[in-house]
Amino acid sequence: MALTAASSLQITSARPSIFSAGKMIGAAITSVGSESNGASHLKLSSGFHISPIQRFQRSFMSSPPKYDRVVIKAMSEAGDKQPSSGLSLNLKGKRAFIAGVADDNGYGWAIAKSLAAAGAEILVGTWVPALNIFETSLRRGKFDESRVLPDGSLMEITKVYPLDAVFDSPEDVPEDIKTNKRYAGSSNWTVKEVAECVKQDFGNIDILVHSLANGPEVTKPLLETSRNGYLAAISASSYSYVSLLKHFVPIMNPGGSSISLTYIASERIIPGYGGGMSSAKAALESDTRVLAFEAGRKHKIRVNTISAGPLRSRAAKAIGFIDMMIDYSLANAPLQKELSADEVGNTAAFLASPLASAITGAVIYVDNGLNAMGVGVDSPIFEKLDIPKDK
């Protein structure tokens, strides 16, 4: 079963070849996210100011203090000799590999744009059956409007690699996939081979993004999900992240950052999000904590996941109820606005930057606060309550 793209509500369709990205919802899907065409693209290169470093002293019993001041370094370029006047989200000189970009309509694409806006070099991994269409669309300028960065320039993708993260190495690929015409003309697309190619081409990377997932039976209730469908969802949506880190961590620079996309169905019941996808997202979040410990101790790599709200990506639309989930969020979230893919992209850029140097093993919610709600306030049961509403 091949990997497709994920994203939006992190939903993947029962069709094994749908792509989209990032955001979360996925399935054997290699997705790309954007919807970042208009909306708010945070200016990533400057912003918040802090007061000068203050000295402090604390004594515990008779022991002298070990440190007498706090030093905050915000810039990502270690060689910068000029003192910064504030906090700057600067990823110049950094290289990012984003797995799961197959169009300009998902969270993966939005993350790529935000990283590029902050100065990072962009490499992407695209699901093999979607590779030709994606590269052709890029070459013909179909994504040019979506590629516009805050400064007016176009996001550049240095290289696109064919990738099917369902397979770790060539030995894992079954014969029917090897002879499948959708894979004809492509080579070196298993996780191990892609990591080796990136090492050969560029030496190392600093940022790794997992924006793919797939659940071939996502439209089925869990009670009706087959063993094969359940395991396929886990393989494509969760273990694929373990595999990516396993093979890419050796070529990641110390201090690097890895980010994946999850969905609130990992911890709350979302009827309609079936096929084992809720289980896959729960596994992804659990793995994020363990991977943060292992990659942090052994390689000084931070590992976090973003739990994003619903997005109208192609993958999410295929599931059939994305509009309903967006309407529900608008009615019930603390912030009554439609989520922008850019907001997820900007969060990823922050997590990849030195500004998040102490954040790892975390699930970061970017969903207008919907995760904090215990009830749906649009229910008729609450109609007599004086509930604040956006005017």
Distance of CA 304 to the CA centre of its chain: 9
Find all residues with CB under 8 Å of 97, minimum gap 6, and list them.
123, 124, 125, 198, 205, 207, 208, 209, 248
- Structure tokens, 7: 């994203």
Instruction: Please indicate whether residue 178 is annotated as part of the active site.
Output: no
- From 7, 20, 237, 238, the catalytic residue: 238
208 touches 161 (CB < 8 A): no
Residue with tokens 């706090």: 70
CA distance 50 to 272: 46
Q: 304 by DSSP, 3-state: which?
A: strand
Strand partners, 302: 257
Burial level of 68, CB count in 10 A (0-12/13-18/19+)? Answer: exposed
| DSSP per-residue string spanning 230-297 | HHHHHIIIIIHHHHHHHHHGGGEEEEEEEEEEE-GGGTS--TT--TTHHHHHHHHHHHHHHHHHHHHH
The single residue of 88, 281, 307, 317 carrying the catalytic annotation is 281
Active site residue 238: yes
Q: Are 213 and 237 in contact (CB under 8 A)?
A: yes
Q: Give yes or no for a contact between 127 and 152, defined as CB atoms under 8 angstroms apart.
A: no
Catalytic residue ranges: 238, 281
